[in-house]
Amino acid sequence: MKKLLVMIALTLISSATFAQQKTSTVNISFWEVKMGHRTQFNTAMETYLSKFTSVKDGIPEVTGYNITGGNHHGEYLIAQNSRKSWADRDVVTPTTMENIRQNEYWELNIAPHLEGVTGDILVYEPQMSNLGVDDKSEKRVVTEFTVINGSKGLTDQLRKMPKVWDKLGRKMGVWVTYTGVARYRVVRYLPNGWKELDDAKDGEFAIAYDEVYGKGSWDKDRLILTNGWTITDKFMMTLNTRLTSK
């Protein structure tokens, strides 16, 4: 556990100038705070971010979200190294006294409040999304699908989705895990808040799909999805400004 926490701290320390690249990656991790430690954790984390992180090129070095529902209910989702290409990840930041002080602060004031941390590196899939990686939304719904039969057919099917989402007027971004078990995270952005969910109706996706690709297309094509992946989690994300670099 201690080694994992130190690795998370070192990841927070690293930073580089972000540039638009063909590949865009992000580190995401779920932080479980110990029972009764949330107030102390939030205060320590807010101080940490103020002292040691910032916003660079419009991108916070650390972005925090509250998680509601799903496998990580009540935990925090922490995003860092946002929009880095793989080439960006080759850049190593030399150790400085400031880095050492940052790491020491993290170990002394934040790590003791954590019960556990799990994480992944995600890669953005622009051909499966109908918005850009730079798009923002303080509220989002994330559905995680675990791949059970990866194939070119599944990939091709997912690349057909953006036209349907456009038809429905939904803003959707798709990320795939580079680490761990192969999973897709399909993210619905809600720039107008949770009220956007009030308009959701059962069956409207199938109707929109057939309007785009022809009558009966969804009944045929959905079998590719049914055989290719399965839902393993779904949760709501809300931006937590206290856990976000400023």
Tens digit of each residue's pLDDT (9 = 90 or more) over 104-139: 999 999 999 999 999 999 999 999 999 999 899 999
Distance from C-alpha of 246 to C-alpha of 241, rounded to nearest angstrom: 9
Cβ atoms of 63 and 22 closer than 8 Å: no
Q: Residue 150 phi/psi, 5° resolution?
A: -65, 135
- pTM of the predicted structure, to 2 decimals: 0.88
Q: Which domains does the chain have, with CATH numbers?
A: 2-121+237-243 (3.30.70.100), 124-236 (3.30.70)
Residue linked to tokens 């059970």: 148
CA–CA dist 53, 78 (Å, integer): 14
Long-range contacts of 189-197 (CB under 8 A, 24+ apart): 189/131, 189/135, 189/136, 189/137, 189/140, 190/137, 190/139, 190/140, 190/141, 191/136, 191/137, 193/139, 194/139, 194/236, 197/141
Q: What is the pLDDT of residues 63-93, one digit of tens each?
A: 999 999 999 999 999 999 999 999 999 998 8
Helix or strand or coil: residue 72?
A: helix
- Phi/psi of residue 56, nearest 5 degrees: -120, 125
Helix, strand or coil, per DSSP, at residue 22: coil
Q: Over the stretch 160-189, which tens digit does the pLDDT of each residue have?
A: 999 999 999 999 999 999 999 999 999 999
161-to-2, 105, 165, 168, 173 alpha-carbon distances in Å: 42, 45, 6, 11, 11
